[in-house]
Structure 1
Amino acid sequence: MKKKRILAMAMALAAVMMITACGDADTPAETPGETPAETPGEEPSGEDGDNVLKVQFNVEVASMDPQIATDGTSFEVIAAVTEGLYSVDADGSAIPAMVDTVEKSEDGLTYTFKLKDANWSNGTPVTADDFVFAWRRLVDPEVASEYAFIMGVAGVKNADAISSGEVAVEELGVTAEDEKTLVVELDFPVPYFESLMSFPSFLPMNEEFFTSVGDNYGTSPETLLANGPFKVTAYEPAATTISLEKNADYWDADAVALDGIQYQVIKDSQQTMLSYQNGDLDIATLSGEQVEQFMNDPEFVNVVAGYLWYVSPNQLVAGLENVNIRTGMALAFDKDAIANNILKDGSIPANFPVPTMLATGPDGKDFRETAGTYLETDKAKAVEYFEAGLAELGVTELTYTMLVEDTEASINVAQFLQSEWQTTLPGLTVELQTMPKKNRVERMQAGDYELVLTRWGPDYADPMTYLDMWTTGSSNNYGSWSNAEYDAIIEDAKKGDLALDLEARWEALKDAEKIVMDEAVIMPVYQKGDAVMVRSGVEGVEFHSVGINRVFKNATKN
């Protein structure tokens, strides 16, 4: 089992160099005190020889719509039942999925994909039109997908102009030449284009089926189609149990050993471990004191994760537009204590907005090796900045409410932040409001918050997957910060002269990161680590730090 731990960590480290998928997410659960229900027709778990993998989440699936979903939990389930042009292997490298063959033009601006013969779970063939419909839907302003920007990241022709309402969706650079031939045109070459095609937002959608179920799409097994390794057999929004079974119609069904997957939402860590020890879970995530308790267990696996947890201040809220107030708050809490005393799961203090082990530059070094560190805990300076901000605002005290999702780890971290702020910064009161993750994300998207403890996971292995969030008008710029110099750097690095000069681009991204931190656009807290229990006999689970967190296609359960 020691060998398995090392292998899992190696896979995670390799994955950070590649592109897969992402947004805002973690892992599994059910409500405290409740026992996960058995799915009708399934044999009980544990020693009875069933071949259904029992997997824990600690937050609910927010959406089963690939063009609407924004979080890693949803992406994980969506990617288990839907397959795009590419998927990823155990090392995180892009491998053909729906693609049979591909031709690339010499200038890197045109890709011609021939699709495999494959069917949806209702027997309908997967066609090039399914990709055209899905991709147009992703950038359609009327759909208002939070991930519309990713089409522009991929360089697809006219993507950004369509998202901003300047050009009709029919002008997107994707065409069905025939039923099995998909042609994609780019505005500029994107070296990681094929790898990005494994990201869930680019997954296909059958237009006829989508139209037939209308607004109910993705709310039940009957309103979902699958063309991937598994298909959904039990699901409803906010459900604490989601059941998948092997998709017998999947083109590569012979490679899928599991009969199915049962996801269980269990938010309480003690209940999680009780379920694991009782044999009701095969994969479970630990937190806090549990890590020390089980770290020497042969089934314990420590996985490096790419998620950055941070506090986002809404700069449209009085007081939070002041850079001194934000900086004072960012310096006022002990990040080491959060990582080492509260989480204890391999998380590290974050003195940066771009995580470590995300991407390697043209110099062959990790971005963090040659970039700076910022907003390191300094309580004395925190007081100086905060008092300066109060003076500039002409007030002696400030009160804010911070949104927190209702998972144990998030609540524990938020309570510590609250204590640190109120102890270190006289005059500051922070109240906490807990809610399910889906509601937290909805409040953020609506701009209906003051402070929020949130996270971002990398969609692809480049600093831009973080830095692009804080451009003016970005759908992920929840705090409504704007800086013309910053916008210019990011635009040049994406599409301008910098895009063609890799060394200069890398240095410019470091400059952009410094601007974000100098203005305390966010308050970084920690980079996530995952302490996971994987039951003996379960092999082939792929952990990824970039994109989709876990892939179960090649998993086996003995």
Structure 2
Amino acid sequence: MKNRSIITLLLLMFTLGAVLVGCNFDDSADEVDSDTTTEDGTESESEGVDTETGTEQVLNLSENSEIPTMDSVHAHDGVSFTALTNTTEGLYRLGVEHDAVLAIADDHQPSEDGLVHTFTLRDANWSNGEPVTADDFVYGWQRIFEDTGHYANMFETAKILNATEILNGEKSADELGVEAIDEKTLEVTLSGPNPLLAQNLTFPSFLPQNQEFVESQGDQYALEASNLLFNGPFIMSEWKHDQSWQYKKNPDYWDAEAVKLEEINVFVVKESSTELNLYETNELDRVELSASSVDQYQDDENFSLVDDAEIRFLRFNHNLEDLGNENIRRAIDLGWDKVAHADVILNNGSKPLYGLVPEGFSTSPDDTDFRDLNGAFNQGNYEEAQAFLDEGLKEIGKDSTTISIMSSDDESMMKTAEYLKDQLETNLSGLTVEINVVPFEQRLELEKSIEYGISISSWGPDYIDPMTYLGMWVTEGSANRMGYSNPEFDALIDEINNEQDPAARYEMMLEAEKLLFEDAAIGPAYQVTNAVLQRTNIKDLAYHPSGAEFTFKWAYIE
């Protein structure tokens, strides 16, 4: 037994060493030396030591997937959003307390009727030394429509003039309500007053782009760190695809004095057990724990449960015969134990979800939580679920059906897929489940083209308002990605977008959610809570409920 233990320990050490080499942990310090030169030819101090405190200002993090894109026109995921908003800056950014704070804009003056907004830009430069101008915003915003950007609908949400007409093909991108008055003055015209405009403008789709640089790169733009320009608190100094990327403090950032971190290393680590090993060996400073590790660490001083506004849900392909049937969708939503899934399978504080808008995210004008007002939808027992399935199968003329559940290849998603398969096949007679595991980026593309049966999907809010969840489901909306359509729902969303009375608007949003569940349009699964180990000397690392997950600008190592 003793000799076998020694051999086992040696094998474990060898395996961990191999993992570290594969993730480039073994040589990251060698690759980052004091003579590092940025893409624009400037030298940066990369020892990462705070000259005042002597503390090394280096942060090591992980993500479970590669960055899908660094082009703000096409970004549509949290990993890309975090990378973009820490290296590129728009008119506003989210502050430590998640409020919208002026960024490249030094001043914002709305007209008396709230329709015309004039932004004065501060002196700021791109990483090639060129100034950030109003034309960069005009170009970046118009390009989203010209290049079929994923989040063009955010301009409609923000009520930018003519955004709806451009999306409908009735007007051209150059008619968008944005104009460069001069190099430092940007004028934005709205179709109606929007009290959420500043918050909307923190979203990555509203980032500027330097036209000359983008066009000079052609189809290589944003594919590598060298094919990018930066104007934010950090530059991306290195990007090893599917392995790691590195940020360094941008010495030419307009607010560089506020930035304490000198270097941030982000490693792609798909297995939570590997992440934990790297944390324990001081290679990572923050990790999210899997279910199997929570009990072990819940008394650790670095442990905390961090509530999130991200939801996980079942996205049904309404174009398929079986999943296009409301009764079959409702049966699947009822046919599994969401409480046991959250408490046992996830075991990280996540909560079972019986609606679309998560709890603790939004309150009404009279300060009541949205979830409390609308309650829970589609709760019942397995007998009711079986009755719905039987009726649905009868309606499509079948005795049984086989569905495919698509999951991305991170641990929690795969565990959810396996649990769903077991639960649905156990609880529902006549239903067979196949699991299709794909990389995260491929899952996004398959959802976009609606080439799946059921997708275990996720949604993090783009801004702090229930419409960030409700607005997804309009017919042919870019976030719909499942072929759902209800003209009554579409009309209600349009009314919400034009309602100025806060109380009336809130009532409409409650009704919109009810309509979705009358249709059994989606199958909510759980609201994310993260069981986190984060070293206590990390301060002011902003973890946002909407848009980009993290802001590093104000973070520092104590």
- In the superposition, the TM-score normalised over structure 1's length comes to 0.91
Q: CA deviation at 1:239?
A: 2.4
| Deviation per residue, 1:501-558 (Å, 9 max, x gap) | 2212211111111111121111000010111211232211111112221111111124
1:421 match: 424
Q: Matched residue of 2:108: which SS?
A: strand
Q: Structure 2 CA distance, aligned partners of 1:287 and 1:126?
A: 43
Q: CA deviation at 1:32?
A: 9.8
Q: CA deviation at 1:31?
A: 7.6
* 2:194 is aligned with 1:190: yes
Q: CA deviation at 1:376?
A: 2.3
Q: Structure 1 CA distance, aligned partners of 2:271 and 2:156?
A: 39
| Deviation per residue, 1:188-230 (Å, 9 max, x gap) | 1110101111111101111111001111111111101110010
2:60 match: 54
Aligned counterparts, 1:58-97, within 5 A:
58-97=64-103
| Deviation per residue, 1:419-438 (Å, 9 max, x gap) | 11111111111111111110
1:451 match: 454
Aligned counterparts, 1:401-420, within 5 A:
401-420=404-423
* 2:304 is aligned with 1:301: yes
Task: Letter of the 2:60 partner, please give it.
Answer: K
| Deviation per residue, 1:84-118 (Å, 9 max, x gap) | 10112211111100011111101100100000000
Contact 1:335-1:525 within 8 A present in 2 as well: yes
> In the alignment, which of 279, 282, 286 is matched to residue 283 of structure 1?
286
1:384 match: 387
Q: Matched residue of 1:235: which SS?
A: strand
Q: Structure 1 CA distance, aligned partners of 2:419 and 2:73?
A: 36
Contact 1:303-1:543 within 8 A present in 2 as well: no
Q: Structure 1 CA distance, aligned partners of 2:140 and 2:373?
A: 39
Task: Letter of the 2:547 partner, please give it.
Answer: G
Gaps of 5+ in 2: 1-17, 34-46
* 2:116 is aligned with 1:110: yes
Contact 1:459-1:465 within 8 A present in 2 as well: yes
* 2:135 is aligned with 1:145: no
> In the alignment, which of 398, 402, 420 is matched to residue 399 of structure 1?
402
Contact 1:152-1:160 within 8 A present in 2 as well: yes
Contact 1:402-1:451 within 8 A present in 2 as well: yes
| Deviation per residue, 1:336-376 (Å, 9 max, x gap) | 11111011112100000111122222122221121131022
Contact 2:234-2:248 within 8 A present in 1 as well: yes
Q: CA RMSD in A?
A: 1.8
- 1:243 to 1:289, Cα distance in 2 relative to 1, 3 A: same
Contact 1:359-1:463 within 8 A present in 2 as well: yes
Task: Letter of the 2:82 partner, please give it.
Answer: E
Q: Matched residue of 1:292: which SS?
A: helix
* 2:249 is aligned with 1:259: no
Aligned counterparts, 1:475-554, within 5 A:
475-495=478-498, 499-554=499-554
Contact 2:321-2:396 within 8 A present in 1 as well: no
- 1:334 to 1:34, Cα distance in 2 relative to 1, 3 A: farther
Please identify the structure whose Cα radius of gyration is greater. Answer: 2
- 1:386 to 1:379, Cα distance in 2 relative to 1, 3 A: same
Q: Structure 1 CA distance, aligned partners of 2:148 and 2:95?
A: 31
Q: Matched residue of 1:242: which SS?
A: strand
* 2:315 is aligned with 1:325: no
Task: Letter of the 1:330 partner, please give it.
Answer: D
Q: CA deviation at 1:149?
A: 0.3
Contact 2:162-2:177 within 8 A present in 1 as well: yes
Contact 1:219-1:235 within 8 A present in 2 as well: no
Q: Structure 2 CA distance, aligned partners of 1:45 and 1:292?
A: 35
2:172 match: 168
- 1:175 to 1:70, Cα distance in 2 relative to 1, 3 A: same
**Structure ranking higher on relative contact order (CA contacts 8 Å, 6+ apart):** 1
* 2:361 is aligned with 1:358: yes
Q: Structure 1 CA distance, aligned partners of 2:110 and 2:48?
A: 48
Identity of aligned residues (%): 38
2:236 match: 232
